[in-house]
């Protein structure tokens, strides 16, 4: 949503980038700036990009006309890859006073840090939470890291290189000699410690040279140009040295007091060891105050899914989703035994970094994936793939494209006979940090208020019997979750019988599975047999409306049990679904003893809905956080099966007994 028209400004530009880079133009528009060409008046503004080669044009026009200058730069969380790789920024800094990296005069950021009270409790808590989220997600200005890359042996000194001629270096009065001096001092101040030179991502990508090349390497000094997460490098470092790199700012939150040889925005506030201090910066800030000013109050953050300005927290969620996709997909995928109708959707999910290939020999060290129910022990390295828990608006058996997919390297969530990635995530999330708790609570609130489910189909409830109502969701009886996770009760009829046996006075509501009702899968129960145990049969009913009308849910392994937990409806499990065994359900079947963690529902939801699946926005065709999918489902801006899929789906109904042909 754009700023109010009353606060809009004409912004005259003399650099083609403002016109050709749509993301920059859009953020400025949403921030209240109308880009113009021509001669500005004295009350207009001139936009220049930092200290780029075209910036003097804007300065000359300002001197001529008296129009003020606005300096625009990338935000401090920019993108997965550098801009020279073609990625647009996630936000901008828009400064009317100067440049945050130029100490020649105070910038808006410096003035904010020097004069704003920065004492609001909510703001400080937001800053602390955002720091924790960035560290856990391994996010930086550029985030093309591999957090699992084995780090160097700890005990080294980290010296941060920068790109040659970078404006933040030259504005600090630094040059190659200063980098060489910094390298010497780092060795002198840390005798006997190895020195690790962290190269800039643009240098590693071959875009620009750095100041410290491989020629500086010795037995003690080594270049680090691997995609290590800086947060991992900070953990093993005994000291951090920089001229003006943003990694120096992040090193503060990685537990260091970096030695700073230039005059970047984060120097001079008591959190750095300044070798060339800015005399006018006398205020002492806390870690949270510096972060709040630089990351929350100063930049303009952009939401590419909703085309609006957004908060830092939303920007972090976006960058985390995009970084995760790159990290998991960067080596490419080989898909095995994937049905033809699924391949275009898988390509959109997993093929944006390197195009997926299907059913071909793996000759390029790609990762391999296979649909979970087709995994075989003779291909142990293959990642198992399955639909996510917020899947679509329509049935998978009707060939509706998925909005979320799960990749599991160890097992798969529905199979309790072996450990899965989800089980490890649940145990890890048992003690949920505050920022993650707030996010999971918001996700639960949105899902429940909007009454979302896996398929988001079905009509209204009929009049229901009175008394204690137990909802019994039917399942597809040859579903993998039944084959691997059911106990003594393995069929829908047995489920009804057992529920009635243990609850003779309850009103039992039986809801057949929609795939079974559609004739696409096995699991039907004869109406007369069902009516012997159930008080009412709910066909083609919205599952959430059925859950909200029930006092309890009894199930084998149905996802509706998990959905009932979200709505705080007690659940009894006669099988071993992924949500059983954690203390959240009443379990009548033995659960794996390895499920020892006792997360609360919020922690479990973070693991199951935020950490475990991947989400893909059908509108922008980008990886996205769960919050975007929730909105797409609520707004019904989701893909439906194409004509070919609809025809194939109808044929499935005719040849339901041959389901192996398309599943």
Q: Which comes out higher in pLDDT, residue 3 or 525?
A: 525
Looking at residue 520, its pLDDT comes to 60
Looking at residue 639, its pLDDT comes to 66
Q: How confident is the model at residue 377 (pLDDT cuts 50, 70, 90)?
A: confident
DSSP 513-579: -HHHHTTSSS----HHHHHHH-SEE--SB-HHHHHHT-SEEEESS-HHHHHHHHTT--EEESS--TT
Average pLDDT over residues 42-71: 94
Q: How confident is the model at residue 656 (pLDDT cuts 50, 70, 90)?
A: very low
Looking at residue 641, its pLDDT comes to 58
Looking at residue 361, its pLDDT comes to 82
Count Cβ atoms within 10 A of the Cβ of residue 449 and give its class: 0-12 exposed, 13-18 middle, 19 or more buried.
Answer: exposed
Q: How confident is the model at residue 648 (pLDDT cuts 50, 70, 90)?
A: very low
Average pLDDT over residues 398-406: 87
State pLDDT tens for residues 191-226.
999 999 999 999 998 999 999 988 889 999 999 999
Looking at residue 284, its pLDDT comes to 98
Q: Of all residues in the chain, what percent carry a pLDDT higher than 70?
A: 94
Range of weakest confidence among 142-156, 394-408, 469-483: 394-408
State pLDDT tens for residues 26-54.
999 999 999 999 999 999 999 999 988 89
Which secondary structure element, helix H or strand E, spans residue 358, and what is its range?
strand 357-358
Average pLDDT over residues 5-31: 92
pTM of the model: 0.93
Looking at residue 107, its pLDDT comes to 97
Which secondary structure element, helix H or strand E, spans residue 182, and what is its range?
helix 176-189
Average pLDDT over residues 396-423: 90
| 33 strand-pairing partners | 9
3-state secondary structure of 214: helix
Average pLDDT over residues 467-488: 93
Residue 300 phi/psi, 5-degree rounding, is: -110, 115
Cα distances from 138 to residues 327, 406, 616, in angstroms, run 11, 21, 21
pLDDT at 529 over 90: no
Domains of the chain: 5-115 (3.40.50), 124-285+293-298 (3.40.50), 308-405+644-658 (no CATH), 427-643 (3.40.50)
Calculate helix-pair angle for 312-329, 121-137, nearest 10 degrees. Answer: 0
pLDDT at 113 over 80: yes
3-state secondary structure of 50: coil
Query: What's the token pair of residue 549?
Result: 């009308």
Looking at residue 401, its pLDDT comes to 87
Q: Which comes out higher in pLDDT, residue 513 or 4?
A: 513
Looking at residue 14, its pLDDT comes to 94
Q: How confident is the model at residue 522 (pLDDT cuts 50, 70, 90)?
A: low
pLDDT at 381 over 70: yes
pLDDT at 397 over 70: no
Looking at residue 527, its pLDDT comes to 79
Looking at residue 515, its pLDDT comes to 77
Looking at residue 459, its pLDDT comes to 85
pLDDT at 516 over 90: no
Looking at residue 3, its pLDDT comes to 52
Looking at residue 490, its pLDDT comes to 94
DSSP 373-422: GG--TTSTTPEEEEE-SS--SS-GGGTPPPSEEEEESS--TT-TTS--HH
Residue 626 phi/psi, 5-degree rounding, is: -60, -35
Closest CA to 575 of 495, 473, 486, 481: 486
Q: How confident is the model at residue 653 (pLDDT cuts 50, 70, 90)?
A: very low
Looking at residue 649, its pLDDT comes to 44
State pLDDT tens for residues 308-358.
999 999 999 999 999 999 999 999 999 998 999 899 999 999 999 999 999
Q: How confident is the model at residue 398 (pLDDT cuts 50, 70, 90)?
A: low
Looking at residue 645, its pLDDT comes to 44
Residue in the structure block whose two tokens are 């933040």: 168
pLDDT at 454 over 80: yes
Sheet containing strand 259-260, edge to edge, reads 221-224, 195-198, 156-160, 237-242, 259-260, 273-274
Average pLDDT over residues 586-603: 98
Looking at residue 341, its pLDDT comes to 87
pLDDT at 647 over 70: no
Average pLDDT over residues 362-377: 88
Closest CA to 443 of 314, 302, 606: 606
Looking at residue 433, its pLDDT comes to 97
Looking at residue 395, its pLDDT comes to 61
Q: Where are the alpha helices (DSSP H) in 1-104?
A: 17-20, 22-30, 55-65
State the chain's mean pLDDT as an integer: 92
pLDDT at 258 over 80: yes
| 386 strand-pairing partners | 406
Q: How confident is the model at residue 400 (pLDDT cuts 50, 70, 90)?
A: confident
Q: How confident is the model at residue 6 (pLDDT cuts 50, 70, 90)?
A: low
pLDDT at 508 over 60: yes
Query: What's the token pair of residue 244?
Result: 């003006």
């Amino acid at each position: 949503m754009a700023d109010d028209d009353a606060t809009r400004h004409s912004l005259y530009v003399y650099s083609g980038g403002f016109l050709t880079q749509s993301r920059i133009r859009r953020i400025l528009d949403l921030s209240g700036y109308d880009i113009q060409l021509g001669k500005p008046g004295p009350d207009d503004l001139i936009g220049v990009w930092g200290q780029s080669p075209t910036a003097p044009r804007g300065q000359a026009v300002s001197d001529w006309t008296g129009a003020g200058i606005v300096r625009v730069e990338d935000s401090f969380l920019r993108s997965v890859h550098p801009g020279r790789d073609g990625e647009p920024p996630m936000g901008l800094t828009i400064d009317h006073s100067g440049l945050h990296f130029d100490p020649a005069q105070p910038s808006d950021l410096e003035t904010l840090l020097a004069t704003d009270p920065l004492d609001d409790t909510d703001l400080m808590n937001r800053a602390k939470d955002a720091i924790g989220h960035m560290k856990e997600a391994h996010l930086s200005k550029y985030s093309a890291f591999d957090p699992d890359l084995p780090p160097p042996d700890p005990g080294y000194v980290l010296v941060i290189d920068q790109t040659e001629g970078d404006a933040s270096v030259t504005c600090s009065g630094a040059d190659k000699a200063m980098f060489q001096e910094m390298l010497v001092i780092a060795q002198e101040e840390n005798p006997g410690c190895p020195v690790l030179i962290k190269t800039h991502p643009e240098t590693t990508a071959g875009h620009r040279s750095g100041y410290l090349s491989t020629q500086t390497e010795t037995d003690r000094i080594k270049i680090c140009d691997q995609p290590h997460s800086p947060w991992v490098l900070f953990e093993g470092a005994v000291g951090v040295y920089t001229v003006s790199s943003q990694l120096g700012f992040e090193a503060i939150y990685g537990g260091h007091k970096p030695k700073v040889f230039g005059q970047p925005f984060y120097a001079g506030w008591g959190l750095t060891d300044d070798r060339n201090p800015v005399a006018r910066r006398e205020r002492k800030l806390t870690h949270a105050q510096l972060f709040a000013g630089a990351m929350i109050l100063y930049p303009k953050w952009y939401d590419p899914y909703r085309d609006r300005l957004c908060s830092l927290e939303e920007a972090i969620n976006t960058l985390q989703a995009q970084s995760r996709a790159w990290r998991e997909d960067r080596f490419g995928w080989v898909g095995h035994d994937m049905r033809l109708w699924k391949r275009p959707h898988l390509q959109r999910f997993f093929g944006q970094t390197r195009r997926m290939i299907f059913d071909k020999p793996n000759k390029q060290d790609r990762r391999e994936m296979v649909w979970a129910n087709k995994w075989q022990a003779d291909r142990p390295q293959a990642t198992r793939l399955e639909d996510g828990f917020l899947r679509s608006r329509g049935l998978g058996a009707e060939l509706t494209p998925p909005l979320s997919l799960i990749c599991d390297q160890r097992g798969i969530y529905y199979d309790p006979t072996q450990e899965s990635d989800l089980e490890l995530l649940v145990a890890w999330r048992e003690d949920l940090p505050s920022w993650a708790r707030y996010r999971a609570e918001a996700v639960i609130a949105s899902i429940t208020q909007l009454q979302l489910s896996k398929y988001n189909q079905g009509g209204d409830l009929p009049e229901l019997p009175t008394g204690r109502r137990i909802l019994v969701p039917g399942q597809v009886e040859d579903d993998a979750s039944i084959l691997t996770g059911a106990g003594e009760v393995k069929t829908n009829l047995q489920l009804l019988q057992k529920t009635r046996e243990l609850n003779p006075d309850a009103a039992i509501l039986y809801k057949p599975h929609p795939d079974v009702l559609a004739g696409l899968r096995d699991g039907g129960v004869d109406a007369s047999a069902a009516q012997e145990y159930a008080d009412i049969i709910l066909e083609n009913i919205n599952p959430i409306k059925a859950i909200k009308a029930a006092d309890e849910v009894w199930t084998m392994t149905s996802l509706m049990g998990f959905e009932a937990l979200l709505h705080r409806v007690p659940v009894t499990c006669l099988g071993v679904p992924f949500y059983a065994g954690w203390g959240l359900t009443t379990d009548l079947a033995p659960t794996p003893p390895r499920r020892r963690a006792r997360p609360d529902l919020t922690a479990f939801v973070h693991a199951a809905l935020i950490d475990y699946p991947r989400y893909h926005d059908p509108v922008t065709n980008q990886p996205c956080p769960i919050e975007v999918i929730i909105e797409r489902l609520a707004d019904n801006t989701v893909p439906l099966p194409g004509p070919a899929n609809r025809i194939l789906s109808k044929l499935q109904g005719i040849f339901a007994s041959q389901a192996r042909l398309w599943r």
